[in-house]
């Protein structure tokens, strides 16, 4: 039986117009947290934002022409401004600049190569991608129409990657990475940034998050569990008593870099820093969340604890509260030590298994 491609499907009906928040998500009557601060913003706050945009435009130059020079010349200024949040109108340009030199010499070459992958190559993951597309940001206006332009763009990026890297292929969590990028850049730019992220052209390679057995997820969960015990010993002990481990609540944090279930305005701020500084921000934000909710979490039994770890309170998700707390947590050195410890222990387990088969 011949596989169907997304182009074989007719677009579904255009969804009825509904009120949207400032990012394009359908507003939920019971929860407007991602849009709430807009309503109460003063004229002075709008003026401050406009000044920030002007500073950023001056820093990056026309079309990003001055960005690399500024990063080399004033790295501490760039780091500070990114941590405060990239202006949304410039976010796509800045995100793309983190991998703009990867794998292709021109925009035309980038587009041509991706089109070849989508049009002329087949992927074993095509049906899985089509099945999962409607589950990716389903309340965002760009992805709402079944087999519409947004879903087709998402399919093209994910299919192209599954052909480009057949070892990884396609894993469900990748849709949220690609979907987030597509909200800020073209298909080809989203594809190449996804390639750069997974192959390690931006920071440490992410492809281990999606390989069979999720080896990098296992490493990150080991590291995170040790950090919880060291930074939050009382909570770590409570988790041990209640038999809670990070795989029960934190896997998606790493697989989707908080884009799956976190408020979108917070996810964007985390992604600003993630693209600039790497995966350590995921550990920092996770620890900051647990620290913020520490006094409540240590009182909860297993069932309520699991629920709380999957549904943090709205005040804990305020970027201006959570992120400064995350930035204050220093983990780089300890992460490297725990990585070596994990590799040493994991190597012993692999060798023991191989000896057992002989």
Over range 112-120, report the average pLDDT: 79
Rounded Cα–Cα distance for residues 23 and 20 (Å): 8
- The answer to whether residues 255 and 335 belong to one domain is yes
- The answer to whether residues 198 and 220 belong to one domain is no
Q: Is residue 31 one of the residues assigned to a domain?
A: no
- The answer to whether residues 82 and 190 belong to one domain is no
Q: Is residue 47 one of the residues assigned to a domain?
A: no
Please report, to the nearest 10 degrees, the dihedral formed by the alpha carbons of residues 73, 77, 78, 79 taken in order. 120
Q: Is residue 126 one of the residues assigned to a domain?
A: yes
Q: What angle do CA 60, 183, 118 make, to 5 degrees?
A: 110
Q: Is this structure's pTM higher than 0.85?
A: yes
Q: Is residue 92 one of the residues assigned to a domain?
A: no
- pLDDT, averaged across the chain: 87
Where a domain ends, among 175, 203, 231?
A: 203
**35 vs 134 pLDDT, higher one:** 134
Contact 183, 140 (CB under 8 A): yes
- The answer to whether residues 257 and 345 belong to one domain is yes
Q: What is the CATH number of the domain that holds 345?
A: 1.10.472.80
- Percent above pLDDT 70 for the chain: 85
Where a domain ends, among 203, 230, 252?
A: 203
Where a domain ends, among 182, 203, 224?
A: 203
- How many distinct structural domains can be found in the chain? 3
- The answer to whether residues 231 and 269 belong to one domain is yes
- The answer to whether residues 149 and 274 belong to one domain is no
Over range 106-118, report the average pLDDT: 71
Q: Is residue 96 one of the residues assigned to a domain?
A: no
| Integer CA distances (angstroms), 326 to 76, 86, 320, in order | 18, 17, 10
- The answer to whether residues 257 and 161 belong to one domain is no
- The answer to whether residues 198 and 228 belong to one domain is no
- The answer to whether residues 224 and 199 belong to one domain is no
Rounded Cα–Cα distance for residues 252 and 285 (Å): 13
Residue 353 in this model has a pLDDT that exceeds 50: no
Domain of 69 in residue numbering reads as 57-86
Residue 16 in this model has a pLDDT that exceeds 80: no
- The answer to whether residues 243 and 322 belong to one domain is yes
- The answer to whether residues 129 and 237 belong to one domain is no
Q: Is residue 119 one of the residues assigned to a domain?
A: yes
Over range 1-8, report the average pLDDT: 56
Q: Is residue 295 one of the residues assigned to a domain?
A: yes
Q: What angle do CA 174, 177, 179 make, to 5 degrees?
A: 105
Residue 72 in this model has a pLDDT that exceeds 50: yes
- The answer to whether residues 178 and 223 belong to one domain is no
Residue 38 in this model has a pLDDT that exceeds 60: no
> Sorting pLDDT into bands at 50, 70 and 90, what band is 298?
very high
Over range 116-123, report the average pLDDT: 84
Count Cβ neighbours within 10 Å for each residue of 103-112 and write b for 16 or more, e otherwise: ebeeeeebbe
| Integer CA distances (angstroms), 298 to 113, 240, 309, 346, in order | 52, 11, 12, 31
Q: What is the CATH number of the domain that holds 183?
A: 1.10.8.270
User: Both tokens of residue 257?
Assistant: 């870099």
What 3-state DSSP class applies to 20?
strand
Rounded Cα–Cα distance for residues 202 and 95 (Å): 11
Q: Is residue 162 one of the residues assigned to a domain?
A: yes
> Sorting pLDDT into bands at 50, 70 and 90, what band is 33?
low
């Amino acid at each position: 039986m011949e596989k169907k491609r997304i182009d074989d499907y007719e677009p579904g009906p255009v969804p009825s117009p509904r009120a949207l928040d400032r990012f394009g998500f359908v507003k939920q009557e019971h929860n407007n947290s991602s849009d709430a601060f807009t309503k109460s913003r003063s004229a002075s706050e709008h003026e401050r934002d406009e000044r920030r945009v002007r500073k950023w435009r001056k820093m990056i130059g026309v079309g990003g022409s001055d960005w690399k020079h500024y990063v080399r010349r004033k790295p501490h200024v760039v780091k500070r401004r990114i941590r405060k949040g990239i202006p949304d109108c410039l976010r796509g340009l800045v995100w793309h600049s983190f991998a703009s030199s990867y794998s292709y010499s021109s925009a035309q070459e980038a587009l041509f190569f991706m089109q070849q992958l989508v049009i002329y190559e087949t992927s074993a993951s095509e049906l899985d991608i089509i099945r999962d597309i409607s589950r990716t940001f389903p309340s965002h206006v760009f992805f709402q129409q079944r087999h519409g332009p947004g879903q087709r763009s998402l399919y093209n990026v994910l299919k192209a990657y599954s052909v480009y890297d057949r070892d990884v292929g396609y894993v469900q969590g990748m849709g949220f990475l690609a979907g987030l990028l597509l909200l800020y850049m073209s298909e080809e730019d989203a594809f190449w940034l996804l390639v750069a992220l997974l192959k390690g052209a931006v920071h440490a390679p992410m492809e281990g998050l999606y390989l069979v057995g999720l080896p990098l997820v296992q490493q990150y969960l080991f590291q995170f569990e040790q950090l919880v015990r060291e930074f939050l010993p009382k909570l770590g002990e409570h988790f041990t008593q209640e038999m809670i481990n990070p795989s029960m609540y934190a896997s998606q944090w790493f697989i989707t870099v908080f884009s799956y279930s976190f408020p979108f305005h917070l996810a964007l701020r985390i992604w600003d820093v993630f693209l600039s500084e790497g995966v350590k921000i995921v550990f920092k934000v996770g620890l900051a969340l647990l620290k913020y909710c520490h006094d409540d979490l240590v009182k909860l039994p297993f069932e309520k604890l699991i629920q709380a770890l999957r549904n943090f309170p709205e005040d804990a998700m305020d970027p201006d509260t959570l992120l400064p707390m995350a930035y204050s947590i220093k983990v780089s050195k300890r992460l490297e030590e725990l990585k070596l410890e994990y590799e040493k222990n994991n190597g012993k387990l692999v060798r023991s298994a191989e000896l057992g088969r002989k």
